[in-house]
Copies of this chain bind each other. A is one copy, B any other.
Amino acid sequence: MREGRKTRQGAAAVEITGLAGLPEILPGADLPDEILVGVKRHGMALEDRDVVVVAQKIVSKAEGRVVLLADVHPSAAARRMAKEMRKDPRFIEAVLRESKRVVRRSGRVLIVETRHGFVCANAGVDRSNAGADDCVTTLPRDPDGSARRMAAALRRRTGKRVAVIISDTFGRPWRLGLTNVAIGAAGLEVLQDLRGKKDASGQRLRATVLAVADELAAAAGLVLGKLERVPVAVIRGYRYTRAGRRARGARDLIRPAAEDLFR
């Protein structure tokens, strides 16, 4: 059944290391510093072309994107919606403030388009791990900007050019469970376009654009712990394409409204 072995042995190995033991991140925390301390504590040093994946939650906390529910005064619309959904009206208000529009609402599920353009549940507003019971975190205002600043700070302090991805867990319409996706990115092309190239059998590849930043985020998801505090992963050995001049980050992953069949 074999048709001649290739001699090429290229064992493409990618390694993902989770950085455990980071301290609780508070508003104003110096995340690049915390990451470098964590990297060192794991006996590592950042290398050129590493990908540093940072859980959205600690980026939001460091940037002060924490809302005290006690300070939120729900609108009449939020109160009505919350009653129907059996949710805290202050939570719904926090979600609506982060949203451009509601995409779907059913039972207790609220799918919105965030101000950034991401379609996800509750606009990424999240109660878990926010630090206190009556707090929620909201997504960073500009996750691509956050990623760029982190990549720049890491480069200043180490001399290494790494890519940075900020990841969050999103649901999917037809599949159960959450997966990590990139909501912010810097230093790499988030999409790898294979269109027009030929595959191993010489057949032209059609419609093959890989969302590499999302695959990197999902890979990091294997070590990013929700129950243990592992908010950062370092991915080594993945040969990504460095960001070109027109790269804008994870926002390049958002499907334009004109192509969206499921609004």
Contact = CB atoms under 8 A, between A and B. Distances in A.
Which residue among A169, A179, A253 has the maximum number of chain B CB atoms within 10 Å of its CB? Answer: A179
Nearest to A256: B176
Interface string A169-199: 1001111111111000000001110100111
Tier of interface size on chain A: 35 or more
A210 to B, nearest CB: 6
A169 B210 contact: yes
Contacts of A181: 175
Interface string A117-138: 0110100000111111100000
Contact of A109 (B7, B252, B261): B261
Nearest to A22: B6
Interface string A197-220: 111110111111111101110110
A215 B208 contact: no
A26 to B, nearest CB: 6
A228 B7 CA distance: 13
Interface in A1-34: 1-26, 28-30, 34
How many copies, total? 2
Given A28-B1, A218-B218, A128 B17 contact: no
A147 interface: no
Interface string A152-177: 00000000000000000100111111
A177 B50 CA distance: 22
Contact of A228 (B1, B10, B209, B219): B10
Which 6 residue pairs of A and B lie closest in terms of their CB atoms, listed nearest first?
Answer: A177-B211, A218-B218, A219-B219, A173-B262, A119-B174, A6-B21
